Amino acid sequence: MKIGILSSGGDCPGINATIRGVGKTAITHYGMEVVGIHGGFSGLLNKDTEVLDEHSLSGILNLGGTILGTSREKGFREMLTSVDQEKSQCILQAYQELGLDCLVCIGGNGTQKTTNLLSEHGLNVIGLPKTIDNDIWGTEITFGFDTAVNIATEAIDRLHSTASSHRRVMLVEVMGHKAGWIALYAGMAGGADVILVPELGFNPEVVNEAIRERARKGKQHSIVVVAEGVKLPDKRKATDFLMKEIEEATGIETRKTVLGYIQRGGNPSPFDRNLATQLGGYATELIANRQFGQMVCVKDGAISSIPLAEVAGKLKLVTPEHNLIIQGKRMGISFGV
């Protein structure tokens, strides 16, 4: 069999470990041919590819980013305009012309949706979930998340000492537009005093009171972790608003740190390397068994798969019943509501 592999959407630590997991298993165990497609779906459109062999798959396990490159090009949409129709047709054609028996798509929510559309149009596809945001429905965890949480936690750890020395409130903005998984996990692991996630929203007075209450107990510094997707009712970003609001309401000097792309760059953690390797290996098993139209996932702690049709268009969000939230509340951590 000849399989194509591409990475699409924002990059994240562990993509190369996945490419290696798919590629090496496909070549060594199953005797398949592996073609790497450059720059996501735009590479497929332009048939911009390279043969991946054991040599090109060596030395990439611990590398951040993706050796194949990535793009936000969707390539295949529901047939909306004539341009979309043309592009979609080109994708189907490129798949045939490259002589692929299966296309493996590594990506986030958007990519899983596109991969499902390709499946509906008759291509043999497998989806591999990747994102630091951990918000892909149908899998308990995505690779990249653990690395991002490690980076954010280390940053919060470091902010504690400077916050305490200066008796300041430190606002830390972490990634997560719709889902607050990084804020929740890094906030709890970093001992934050207030954690705000988009799913729960927030009341500024509750945040201010949590900080005042700490001050009354003699704790003049506080750490507030905010997911970038937390917004005010008028859609303004909460982080920008809270800087001024907290300082004015509590009288405590307030500073902010935006972690940004640092959370997405660099080497994957050992956990993410092993997760990515196993997900990649499982993808080849599905291909060998001709079980297409599936996304590889983690279910009940084991590597498994789920039909792409079940995943497409959904998001996995933090719920108020999450154990870290319940436990956090019991310890006096404020979630802003």
| Footprint on this chain of ligand F6P (rule: CB under 6 A) | 10, 12, 131-133, 175-177, 228, 264
285 in a labelled binding site: no
Number of continuous H segments (helices) and E segments (strands) in the chain: 11, 11
CB of 233 to ligand F6P, least distance (A): 21
Alpha carbon distance 284, 288 (integer Å): 6
- The residue (of 12 and 169) whose beta carbon lies closer to ligand F6P is 12
- The residue (of 246 and 276) whose beta carbon lies closer to ligand F6P is 276
Q: What is the end-to-end Cα distance of the chain in Å, rounded?
A: 54
Q: Which residue has the tokens 């129709």?
A: 85
Query: 119-158 burial string, b = 16+ CB within 10 Å, else e?
Result: beeebbbbbbbbbbbbbbbbbebbbbbbbbbbbbbebbee
CB of 36 to ligand F6P, least distance (A): 21
187 in a labelled binding site: no
Quick one: which H or E segment has residue 233?
Answer: none
CB of 101 to ligand F6P, least distance (A): 30
Q: Which residue has the tokens 């047939």?
A: 79
67 in a labelled binding site: no
The torsion defined by the Cα of 250, 255, 260 and 263, in degrees rounded to 10, comes to -90
132 in a labelled binding site: yes
- The residue (of 8 and 254) whose beta carbon lies closer to ligand F6P is 8
- The residue (of 102 and 183) whose beta carbon lies closer to ligand F6P is 183
Q: Of residues 11, 133, 135, 272, which has the active-site annotation?
A: 133
Ordered DSSP codes for 199-223: TT---HHHHHHHHHHHHHTT---EE
CB of 111 to ligand F6P, least distance (A): 11
Q: Is 133 a catalytic site residue?
A: yes
30 in a labelled binding site: no
Q: Which residues are catalytic?
A: 133
Q: Which residues are annotated as a binding site for substrate?
A: 131-133, 168, 175-177, 228, 255, 261-264
Q: Which residues are annotated as a binding site for ATP?
A: 10, 72-73, 108-111
Q: Which residues are annotated as a binding site for Mg(2+)?
A: 109
